[in-house]
Amino acid sequence: MKSDNIINVENNGKLNIDSSVSEININEKVVLVGNPNVGKSCIFNFMSGMYVDVSNFPGTTVSITKSHFNSKEIYDTPGIYGVSSFNDEERVAKEIILDSEIIINVVNALHLERDLFLTLQLIDMGKKVSVLLNFADEIKKRKIKIDTKKLSELLGVEIIETSAINQTGLDKISYAIQNARVGNQQLDLHFMLQSIIDQSIPQSEALLILEGDEETANKYNAACGTPAQRENIYIGRRNRVNEIVDQVEYQDTKSGEFFNRIGRLSLNPKTGLPILGVILVLVYFFIGDFVSQQIVNFTENTIGKGLFEYNVKSFVSNYTPTTIDVSIYDGNENLMNIKSFNFPDGKNSNKQLSDEFVRFSNQPGASSEFHFSNPFVRLFFGEFGVITMTITYLLFLLFPLVIGFYFVMALLEDSGYLPRLATMLDRTFNKIGLNGRAVIPIMLGFGCITMANITTRLLGSEREKSIVTAILQFVIPCSAQLAVITVLLSGAGIKPLLIFVFVIATVLITLSTILNKLLPGESTPLLIDLPMMGFPKLKNVLKKTYYRSWGFMKEASFWFFVGAFAVGIFEITGILTIWQDILAPLTTSWLKLPKEAANAFVMGMVRRDFSAAGLFDLNLTSMQITVAIITITLFVPCIASFVVMLKERGIKEGLTVWAGTWITAFFIGGLVAQIVI
C-alpha cells in the first residue's frame, strides 16, 4: 500500500487528493460508479492490476480504493442506487463523483430498469459519462436482447458491452474513458438547473441542490429543493428509464422466441390441450412410473417394511406375547416356505427359538408378519399400528410422492407454464364457479388429497375453497388409489375404463354444478401475471420443493397419527367389525359384489389404496371391477385427509362432505351395478 496517496476531506467537505505523485492531472480523475452487484470491483481489479490503495474515507467506515490506469487516477466507489446522501456509502460516492470529471458507469444488463436510473442521474449532472454494459454474455443466454446502438443514441453516451467475469470487452475500457462525453440531459430539468448554475455553482451540484441534497445546498448557501421537488424529478426520471428500456430491450433470441411461442400456444385450447397432453405424459412417466413405482417400492417395502417395521416389531416382540409368521418367496413371488414362530411370553424367554427366527427371517425373500395378542401393543405396533404403519406410510410412501409432486409443480410453475394452464382452463372452471387457479389444488389431488386440501388456501374465496374441497373428496383419486385402479382395470378391457371415466365425469359435473348453484357468495375472477416462459432454474425448483414438502410434512404428519390412532381404537373395540357386518348386505345385494368387498370399503377409510388392494384377491368379473372402482373412487377420503379437511373447512362442512361421499359412493356404485351387472 502506498502511503503517499491518501484521500483527505477539507472542512468544506470537498474531496482533495494529497498528491505527492504530482504528475497526475486532477482533470483526469476517472471514477467507476454503479449499483451494487454490477461487477464494478471486478472491472476495477482488471484496470488496476496489482497496485491498489485501500483506505477508509475520513469519518466513515466506508473503504475506498484507488489506483492508476494508463496514467490516470481511477477510483472505485461503493455500490449506490442514486447520487444523494441517504447513507455513508452514498455520501462517499457522491463526494468522489462530484470531484471527478470522467465517470465510467457500470450497468448490469440484467437489471437495466433498475440501473439506468443512476445512469440518467449521472448524465443529468452534466458529467462526462461512458457506460459499460456488464453481464453482456448473461443476457445472451436469457431471452433478452438489448439494442446498444439505440441505447447509446437515447442516452447520448458510449455503450460498451463487457463481461467482467469472462474478461471480454474490457480491452475497450481506455476507449470508453477517452470517449466519455456529456450525454442527453432532460430538457425541462436543464432549464430548472439554469437558475442555480447562474449562481456559479457547477451543474452536478446544482442538480443535487434541486433534488434536495442539503449538504450541497449548505455548501453554497443556496436554497435547497423540497422533498416534493425531489419526488417529481425522481418520478420523471423513472418514467424516462421505463420508456428507454421499452425501446431498447427485446426478447428475441432464438430460445426466447421459441419459449415465447410455446407460451402463446399453451394459452389457446386448440394448441394448448395437445401441449398439456405432452406434459401430462411426461409427468406420468416421472411420477406414475419412476417415483411411485420404482422409488416408492424401494422406500416402502425395502426400507419401511423390511428394515424399519421389521426391527421395531422384532424388538417389541422380545417383551410381549407374539406369533410371527415368516413366509419365504422366490424371485417370482411364489411362496417357497412358511413357518410360524410362537412366543407366548415374548422372544426373550425363548432364546433358542428366537435365534432360529432371526436366522429364518433374514433369508432373502423372507417376509414376517407379527401378531401381537396384547391389544395395546397392537394399537401402536400392529399391522395398522399408530407407530409402525403411520411412519412407514408417511416417510416411505407419502414423502417421496409428495416430493415428486411438488417438484413437478415447481418445474411447471417456474417455467411459466402453470399460470398459462390456469388461463387456458379459466372459462371451463368458470362454469363450475371457480377460476383457472383451481387447477393447482385439483392437480395436486391426483398426488395426495391431504396435500391438495391444504393447497385450497390459495383460492380467493370461501365459496371456491368449498367447491374444490368437495370435488377433491368426492371424485379425485389420489396417486395411491390410482395405482391400484390401474392394476384392476388393466386386466378388464376397455369397456370398464370407459364406464368408469363416464360415471366419474358425470358425478364431477353434476356435483360442481349443484354446488355452484347452492353456495352463496361470489367467486373471484382470474387475474394473474404470466411470467416469461423458459427453463426453470434447478436451484430455485429444488428450494421450493424442499420448503413445500417440509411444510406439508410438518403440517399434516400429526393428523396421520391421529387418524391411525382412531382406526386402531375402532379395531380394538370391534367397531371395525361391526361396520363390516353392517355394510355386508349392502355390498352383496345392492352393489352385487362379494361379501368380502365390504372389508375393502372399511379399510378405504384408513388409506385409500387399502380399499382397492382388498379387491385384488376376490376374482371379480370385469363389470364387478367397474362397480368396485367407481364406488371406491367416490368413497370417503382417507382418514388423514378427512382430519385435515375438518381442520381447513370446519366440522360442519367437513362432516357434510364426508357423509355425502358415503351416500354418493353407494348410490352411484349401486346404480351402475343394477344397470351393468
Smallest distance, Å, CB 413 to another protein? Answer: 15
Closest CA to 373 of 350, 340, 342, 339: 342
Cell 376374482 found at: 619
Smallest distance, Å, CB 463 to another protein? Answer: 14
Closest CA to 247 of 378, 368, 317, 154: 154
User: Alpha-carbon distance 106 to 116, whole Å?
Assistant: 10
Q: Between residues 525 and 551, which has the closer beta carbon with respect to another protein?
A: 525
What are residue 181's phi and psi, to 5 degrees? -150, 165
Report in angstroms the alpha-carbon separations of 553 from 157, 548, 617: 56, 9, 33
Q: Between residues 246 and 356, which has the closer beta carbon with respect to another protein?
A: 246
Q: Between residues 263 and 594, which has the closer beta carbon with respect to another protein?
A: 263
Q: Between residues 124 and 414, which has the closer beta carbon with respect to another protein?
A: 414
List CB contacts of 391: < 8 A, sequence separation 6 or more: 304, 308
User: Alpha-carbon distance 104 to 34, whole Å?
Assistant: 8
Q: Between residues 264 and 647, which has the closer beta carbon with respect to another protein?
A: 264
User: Alpha-carbon distance 449 to 445, whole Å?
Assistant: 5
Closest CA to 610 of 393, 367, 450: 393
Q: Between residues 427 and 495, which has the closer beta carbon with respect to another protein?
A: 427
Report in angstroms the alpha-carbon separations of 122 from 14, 106, 659: 18, 12, 70
Q: Between residues 242 and 373, which has the closer beta carbon with respect to another protein?
A: 242
Cell 452487484 found at: 37
Smallest distance, Å, CB 660 to another protein? Answer: 28
List CB contacts of 633: < 8 A, sequence separation 6 or more: 475, 477, 481, 485, 500, 504, 665
User: Alpha-carbon distance 344 to 320, whole Å?
Assistant: 8
Smallest distance, Å, CB 143 to another protein? Answer: 11
Q: Between residues 241 and 672, which has the closer beta carbon with respect to another protein?
A: 241
Q: What secondary structure letter does DSSP report for 52?
A: -
User: Alpha-carbon distance 647 to 30, whole Å?
Assistant: 65
Q: Sign of torsion, CA 561 562 567 568?
A: positive
Cell 448490469 found at: 108
User: Alpha-carbon distance 427 to 610, whole Å?
Assistant: 37
Smallest distance, Å, CB 428 to another protein? Answer: 8
Report in angstroms the alpha-carbon separations of 234 from 126, 207, 216, 244, 665: 17, 12, 18, 15, 64
Smallest distance, Å, CB 526 to another protein? Answer: 3
Closest CA to 161 of 151, 149, 169, 171: 169
Smallest distance, Å, CB 422 to another protein? Answer: 7
Smallest distance, Å, CB 291 to another protein? Answer: 31
Closest CA to 609 of 439, 441, 401, 453: 401
Smallest distance, Å, CB 436 to another protein? Answer: 7
Smallest distance, Å, CB 85 to another protein? Answer: 31
Q: Between residues 421 and 556, which has the closer beta carbon with respect to another protein?
A: 421
Q: Between residues 327 and 524, which has the closer beta carbon with respect to another protein?
A: 524
Closest CA to 43 of 117, 113, 104: 104
What are residue 48's phi and psi, to 5 degrees? -90, -15
Q: Between residues 528 and 586, which has the closer beta carbon with respect to another protein?
A: 528
Q: Between residues 430 and 486, which has the closer beta carbon with respect to another protein?
A: 430
Residues in the site for another protein, rule: CB under 8 A?
242, 246, 249, 251, 264, 267-270, 419-420, 422-424, 426-428, 430, 435-436, 524-530
Smallest distance, Å, CB 423 to another protein? Answer: 4
Q: Sign of torsion, CA 194 199 202 206?
A: negative
What does the block give as the cell for 417? 407454464
- Report helix angle 494-518 to 462-474, nearest 10: 160
Smallest distance, Å, CB 144 to another protein? Answer: 9
Q: Between residues 251 and 557, which has the closer beta carbon with respect to another protein?
A: 251
Smallest distance, Å, CB 249 to another protein? Answer: 7
Strands 63-69 and 15-19: unpaired
Q: Between residues 458 and 538, which has the closer beta carbon with respect to another protein?
A: 458
User: Alpha-carbon distance 8 to 608, whole Å?
Assistant: 77
At 69, is the secondary structure helix, strand, or coil? strand
Smallest distance, Å, CB 411 to another protein? Answer: 20
